Amino acid sequence: MKEYSQTFLQQIYMVMLRIRLCEESIVEPIFNREILCPCHLYSGEEAIAAGISASLVKEDYVFSNHRSHGHFIAKGGSVEEMLAEIYCRDNGCSRGRGGSMHLIDPGVGMLGSAPIVAGTISLALGAALASSIRKEDRVAVTFFGDGATGEGVLYESMNFAALMKLPIIFICENNFYATHMPVRDCRVQNNIRAIADPFCIENDEVDGNDVLAVYEAGRKAVDKCRRGEGPYFLECLTYRLRGHVGPDDNIQGLHTDIRSPEEVEKWRRKDPIENFELYLLNHCNFGADTLCKIKKDAETEVAAAHEFAKNSRCPSEKDLLNDVFL
């Protein structure tokens, strides 16, 4: 069994908790209509963002999609500014103009997210090309869902990246559903990683609910890119525990989710945070008291971030056209 320092394990656990607690903390404000912008929650997929970001450095670039909260937090984005943005306040990371699906913090290498399916893949490609031309030793990561594998821009980007040997990692978070359509109805075979083969791009599949497995796969991909042996394609198998958009697909006690209750419950038993907690307790000399303290610290941080967001001012009408290119 590979050994990791307790500091590293504690940090990666804190990142996963921070993401989960943020996601779950906005459920009630959404139901109460305090939060009005559409939110695609990352609950259940935390191990991917946490594991990949742990293999990166601050200077590396990350591009995200509509389900962006986890990537933003894991790359080091401010929880306060993210929640303020979700509340559409002026102190938000996009000055309250973008909401949940338009998060950005260039200071930590989070260069943006967008709701257009596959919309940021080509942007990550451009960032990787710039890094290569400037010899900056920066890696670009693009996160996208299984639904994005039906978009042509992904294949065009993979072809160009392979031709130029660019330092870009294509990460597919395969949660088996493109909006409400199961992947079995979208693909003849559920072998997403294999789409990289015709471009001679090295690829792998990993359990996206195992944070250390994701970290090791991410570190391998990052190391190859830094050696000039990119690109790399990584498929992470995971599952969202909430609805496609909003807290839940079920209303008024009725099960309206296309996913069966049995399927959802099966994946709840694979909860990446609970499984990592068991690993820390059973194999890494972490005590229950230690985990409890880390969790309380995360809860305090998220609660304070909500207060910051709620007490932040709304954007002024007089600033409506500021930062808008006409």
Helix (H, G, I), strand (E, B) or coil at 137: coil
295 part of a folded domain: yes
Q: 242 vs 27, 41, 143, 179, 223, CA distance in Å?
A: 10, 7, 19, 12, 34
Alpha-carbon distance 59 to 50, whole Å? 16
pLDDT in tens, the chain (326 residues): 688 999 999 999 999 999 999 999 999 999 999 999 999 999 999 999 999 999 999 999 999 999 999 999 999 999 999 999 999 999 999 999 999 999 999 999 999 999 999 999 999 999 999 999 999 999 999 999 999 999 999 999 999 999 999 999 999 999 999 888 888 888 888 889 999 999 999 999 999 999 999 999 999 999 999 999 999 999 999 999 998 998 887 665 666 678 888 999 999 999 999 999 999 999 999 999 999 999 999 999 999 999 999 999 998 888 878 877 76
119 part of a folded domain: yes
Task: Give me the domain span that covers residue 108.
Answer: 6-319
326 part of a folded domain: no
For residue 69, is it left (φ>0), alpha (ψ between -120 and 50) or beta? alpha
| CATH code of the domain in which 204 resides | 3.40.50.970
1 part of a folded domain: no
**Cis peptide leading into residue 231 (ω within 30°):** yes
Number of domains in the chain: 1
The length of the chain in residues reads 326
324 part of a folded domain: no
Does pTM top 0.85 for this prediction?
yes
Contact 104, 94 (CB under 8 A): yes
253 part of a folded domain: yes
